[in-house]
Structure formats: C-alpha cells, structure tokens
C-alpha cells in the first residue's frame, strides 16, 4: 500500500498524527541548547527535527549502520550492507553543514567512550530487551543529573516482543522513578 493510500484511511491518519504528537512532546521536554545524543539514527529524519526544535550546541548521532543477520525483521536486518553504507553516506551529507553534529558510526556500547557528558539522550537503537537495558544503564550514567533520557517504541510489540517496555519498566523500578509515557515514547528525568 502506498503512502497516499494509507493516508486515505482516517484511522491510520489519526495514529500517524498521534505518533508524531507524542514525539513532539518528548522533543519539547529535552533541555535546549545543550549536548544530546540520538542512539539509532537511520536516515536522520528525527535528528533533523531535534536540530531544528531543540537547537543543541552539540548533537551526537550514534548508529553502526550495519546489516544485522540476527535481527532479520528489523529495518536494518532487511537491508544489505551496501544499502546501509548508502544510508550512512546520506546522513553524512545531510548534516555536513551543521558543525554541531558529530556522527559516530559505531554501536551505542562502543560509542560511549567517545561521547562527552550529556544533557539528554534519546534511545532508539537495538530494540531487544538486553540492548535497551544496556543502553539505559550506560547512557543513564552519561546524562547529567537533572537531564533527560527518553526513547521510542515503548508500547510497540513488533519483532522485539515487548523488550523495550520490559527494560524501561525495570530501569524505572531500579532508579525508583517510573518513566513518563507518551504513547510510544518514554521519558526519564534523571
Ligand atoms: C528505529 S531506527 C532509528 C530511527 C530514528 N531514531 C528515527 O526516529 O528516525 C533504529 C536504528 O538503530 C540502529 N542500531 C541498531 N543496532 C544499534 C546499536 N547497537 N547501537 C546503535 N544503533 C543501533 C539501526 O542501524 C537503525 O538505524
């Protein structure tokens, strides 16, 4: 079904608008003019929105752009490596004029050592329970007290089988503060 055909279905339009509004609420809750990291970038569409609305003084974009044989149903499992390379190149080109953007082509775990203290992090990389749990622990330490850690697909239950929700709920229980949930988005004020 084409994008335009999908938009003829009012129910789908409602869901699409709601998804975007939820994300917008998260963007508006991130500290502005600071240092942030988006973990899991894909083509950089959300990064562009973050740049425009959050106006960070530094924005780290972290993604390995690597084909995954393990997660074949993920968007990065369905694309061969040459396609992932093209997507990476397009992201470099897209943000080339923005000096505040630092693209790190590596996994979230590897990138940690190369990032500075953060005012916020947005977690949207590997959606498996183990990976989200590891990202929350690692990026939760990098975000300054009073900063924000948020992320996507809390309510989603696709190939990752509810792993995001489980990891987010457990992290909230561990730090003694449950996440705020906006539809599919989660947000911790640290
Ligand atoms: C859902 S997409 C990100 C979408 C993007 N945040 C947006 O809203 O436009 C997931 C991305 O996570 C990346 N990814 C997969 N494993 C990762 C990892 N271990 N660390 C960081 N990113 C990862 C994939 O390459 C893919 O680009």
CB of 41 closer than 8 Å to CB of 63: yes
Centre of ligand 1 to C-alpha 71, Å, is: 12
- pLDDT(38) > 60: yes
Decide whether any atom of ligand 1 lies within 6 Å of the 124 Cβ. Answer: yes
pLDDT value, residue 69: 74
Range of the domain at 66: 3-189
User: Tell me: the pLDDT tens digits for 129-160?
Assistant: 999 999 999 999 999 999 999 999 998 778 77
- Which band of pLDDT confidence, cut at 50, 70 and 90, is reported for residue 117? very high
Q: How confident is the model at residue 115 (pLDDT cuts 50, 70, 90)?
A: very high
Contacts 24+ apart (CB under 8 A), 85-89: 87/42, 87/43, 88/63
What is the mean predicted confidence (pLDDT) over 90-102? 98
Q: Is 121 helix (H, G, I), strand (E, B) or coil?
A: strand
Instruction: Return mean pLDDT, the chain.
Output: 91
Residue 56: the pLDDT is 98
| Domain at 77, CATH number | 3.40.50.150
Q: Phi and psi for 133 in degrees, rounded to 5?
A: -60, -45
Q: Is 182 in the pocket of ligand 1 (CB under 6 A)?
A: no
The structure tokens 């995954």 sit at 68
Ligand 1 mean position, distance from CA 158 (Å): 15
> Does the C-beta of 45 come closer than 6 Å to ligand 1?
yes
- Chain mean position to CA 181: 15
Atom of ligand 1 lying closest to residue 38 CA: 6
Q: How many domains does the chain have?
A: 1
The pTM of the whole model exceeds 0.85: yes
């Amino acid at each position: 079904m084409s994008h335009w055909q999908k938009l003829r279905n009012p129910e789908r339009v409602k869901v699409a608008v709601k998804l975007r509004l939820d994300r917008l609420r998260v963007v508006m809750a991130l500290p502005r003019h600071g240092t942030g990291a988006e973990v899991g970038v894909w083509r950089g569409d959300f990064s562009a929105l973050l740049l425009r609305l959050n106006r960070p003084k530094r924005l780290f974009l972290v993604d390995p752009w690597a084909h995954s044989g393990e997660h074949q149903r993920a968007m990065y499992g369905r694309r061969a490596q040459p396609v992932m390379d093209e997507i990476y190149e397009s992201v470099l080109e897209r943000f080339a004029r923005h000096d505040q953007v630092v693209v790190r082509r590596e996994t979230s775990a590897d990138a940690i050592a190369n990032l500075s203290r953060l005012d916020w992090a947005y977690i949207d990389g590997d959606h498996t329970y183990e990976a989200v749990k590891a990202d929350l622990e690692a990026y939760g330490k990098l975000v300054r007290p009073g900063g924000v850690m948020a992320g996507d697909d809390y309510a989603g239950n696709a190939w990752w089988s509810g792993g995001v929700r489980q990891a987010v709920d457990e992290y909230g229980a561990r730090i003694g503060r449950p996440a705020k949930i906006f539809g599919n988005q989660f947000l911790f004020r640290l």
